[in-house]
Amino acid sequence: MQKAWFYEEHGPKEVLKLGDFPIPSPLHNQLLVEVRAAALNPIDSKRRQKPFCPSEFPVVPGCDVAEGQPKQLGTLAEFIVVEESLVAKKPKNLSFEEAASLPLAVQTAIEGFITADFKEGDNFCSWWSTRKVEFVKSLGADEVVDYTKTRYEEIEEKYDYVYDTIARLKNSFVVAKDGAPIIDITWPPSNPRAVYSSLTVSGENLEKLEPFLETGKLKAVIDPTGPYNFMDVIQAFGYLETGRARGKENGHPLHHLHLHSNPSSSNLHDFLVPHAQTLHRQRHKNPNYAPVNGTVFGQLFYFNNLYDHQTEVAQKQRTFRLLGLEESELYTTDTRNIEHMLKTNFDKYSKGMYNQDIVTDLFGEEEMLLNLSDSCPRLRLLKGFFDMQDVLMRCTLDSIFKVGFGVELNCLEGYSKEGTAFMKAFDDSNALVYWRYVDPFWKLKRFLLESDKDPEKMNRYLRDIILNFMIAGKDTSANTLSWFFYMLCKNPLVQEIVAQEVRKVTGSSQDDDEVEDFMAKITDTTLEQMHYLHATLTETLRLYPAVPIDGRCAEVDDVLPDGFRMKKGDGLYYMAYAMGRMTYIWGKDAEDFRPERWLSNGIFQPESPFKFVAFHAGPRICLGKDFAYRQMKIVSIALLRFFRFKLADDTKKATYRTMFTLHIDGGLHLRAIPRTRL
């Protein structure tokens, strides 16, 4: 047994008690350490005072460090278990007290400099109160502004960067130069000039600091009121909550408590391992956890290019883990893991309440996989530049409503106001609901709006079915066709090969076809013979899958084929977008658009569905796969037979809008050049 501080109810510092706890046992790739120094952060007080984030009583303060052990076990104990990837060796010239003062503060500062791309000669501004002005000057600051005495509007000098750690974003803009970046670590900002920076925790980051610490370029700052003994935890919390902590508060052996003066709560995982003594490591018995690559909410910083960020990480780590408030999320490109989840151990994984709760407001409670329409919309003569993605969205929306519900929506032909408004509302909802995956406060926002709903005014069952039809029948096909025509414009030779195949298979000449006559030539046999078109559509889906990331939740503890451990409740996500760019899966030319990779002697050759996961795989493979190909082929054949397409702006690169489906941000503006008379 070991001694640890804990609380069994939320409240003031007096709810803390000292008691006995079992010594945790390390799993594979974990370390059991004896804590020689620890630090308190404001987040520890907030969690104790009220239900700041989910936790089970009893709670040992000191941040969530024992992954794989009860979440309530923190650093205010004699022993903790941490992952080996988060450990860094303590510099020899630092005491345990000094080492304990560094990890969160130093990594937070460096993360801000990296985010801002801070360079020598740039002016950097941060905020301080009166009682800390002299302290900051003693650290080497050229100029210090006392915000309790000086109005921001009175500050004459403007700064190249502002680093906001105390939620004063409005004032930060007043002192920043025009266009200067504002780095905010307290809350994801809505202003496009401000960026949110969250800390990526790793032992590797700490090890990079060792030369600066050994040479004295970085120094530990210890609050003069310390050190605090392990028995004085309540007193230490009392001083922390006065808001006067400066630097760190040191404690005496056996345990040292350091009070963190930075109010940031961006890092809930200040492991403080560099100052811990390793007692035991377990490597031979249990599977290890996937390496940690940050937090779930840290993805906010990369949200606009989320899938490319995931691709960069996956190129270094085929499977990695992001830490959440409750469970972890594993992300993988390993085809063995995907087959394990979607087929071999299908019963061990489900959508899970976490995913279901997020998407219910958009898709409802009915989970369906639907067939797509096989109807072909009438061609319209296109003049000048137009938004191809908008046309395709209207086309597929008309299709699914006519086939699924017998309703003529007329979004394409008549540009129905109701249909257009519905389509825009659905697309906006798609993006807003997807934001919940990285927004820790979405449930609170929904709660504040929940009273406006009147469930008696809607037939939820029918609504849910219609919305599921929408996502299956509109977005997936339209988005794929949009990327398909974008890639044809970027690769005009491929576009011409597809057009030649269309003319050859349908037996149509260059000049003698009318639209109606040509459409009559498109049969099931015709569609099956267009192998190059099928390969081009598939190559588009490989690089631009309609659903860029998908996954399941573990219903039981499990071990993946690559050796990484899954706990019940953990999410496992396969990154279809990233997988299409992995050289170990597709070869050195993985990022090249090359339809020929799917052909052998001119005949289309499919790949394993666990390698090409655009249509999911296993028992829940998309039922509408064949219908989707059919619909996309019909639209492509009709358009490419009569038009040649070019980008309105050849220099503009298409980017995506981060949402459930891979939507081209801003639309796809093309120019249609008639191949023959209509």
User: What residue ranges in 447-496 does DSSP mark as E strands?
Assistant: none
The CA distance from 661 to 549, in Å, is 9
Q: Tell me the one-letter amino acid at 607.
A: E
| Residue in the block written with tokens 């950097």 | 124
Burial of 216 from C-beta contacts in 10 A (0-12 / 13-18 / 19+): exposed
SS3 376: coil
HEC string for 130-161: HHHHHHHHHCCCCCCCECCCCCHHHCCCCECE
125 is in an annotated binding site: no
State phi, psi for 426 to the nearest 5 degrees.
-65, -45
The CA distance from 187 to 301, in Å, is 11
Q: How far is CA 48 from CA 39, 199, 242, in A?
A: 15, 23, 15
SS3 669: strand
- Residue 589: count other Cβ atoms within 10 Å of its Cβ: 10
DSSP 62-131: S-S--BTB-TT--SSBSEEEEEGGG--PPPTTS-HHHHHTSHHHHHHHHHHHHHHT--TT--EE--B-GG
The CA distance from 330 to 350, in Å, is 15
Cα dihedral 105→108→109→113 (10° resolution): 170
The CA distance from 649 to 670, in Å, is 8
| 560 within 8 A of 337, measured Cβ to Cβ | yes
Residues 6+ apart with CB under 8 A from 425: none
HEC string for 619-663: HHCCCCHHHHHHHHHHHHHHHHHHEEEEECCCCCCCCEECCCCCE
Burial of 262 from C-beta contacts in 10 A (0-12 / 13-18 / 19+): middle
Known binding residues:
622
Known binding residues for heme:
622
